[in-house]
Amino acid sequence: MRMTTRILAASVLGLALAGAATPAMADDDPATGGVDVSVNIQPTTTPGQLSMTVADNNGVSLQENGSDAAARQFTGTLPTVTVTDTR
């Protein structure tokens, strides 16, 4: 009998809490005074660009240095590379 009473009490409490939450959720309904949210986004008028430039150089000369059976390694100086993104 005690278990049945506890289950009944928990069910009644659950229904009461669900009923109490319903009016709070109804306040978000636009028909009953909800909040209007709008955003104006201006379209872009000029497209951006993604570009890469390599500084002037006389070519790249790499020398093998430190290679072994598992990997080949090279040393040398590479030209400066610049990436620009205006998108």
pLDDT at 75: 94
User: Whose structure tokens read 């093998």?
Assistant: 64
Domain that holds residue 75: 2-85
* Exposure b/e, 8-44, CB count within 10 A at least 16 = b: eeeeeeeeeeeeeeeeeeeeeeeeeeeeeeeeeeeee
Query: Is residue 27 pLDDT above 60, yes or no?
Result: no
Per residue in 31-72, pLDDT (tens digit) is 667 777 888 888 877 788 999 999 998 888 899 999 999 999
Number of domains in the chain: 1
At residue 14, the pLDDT reads: 72
Residue 69 confidence (pLDDT): 94
Residues 7-25 have pLDDT tens digits of 766 776 677 666 655 555 5
The predicted structure's pLDDT at residue 67: 94
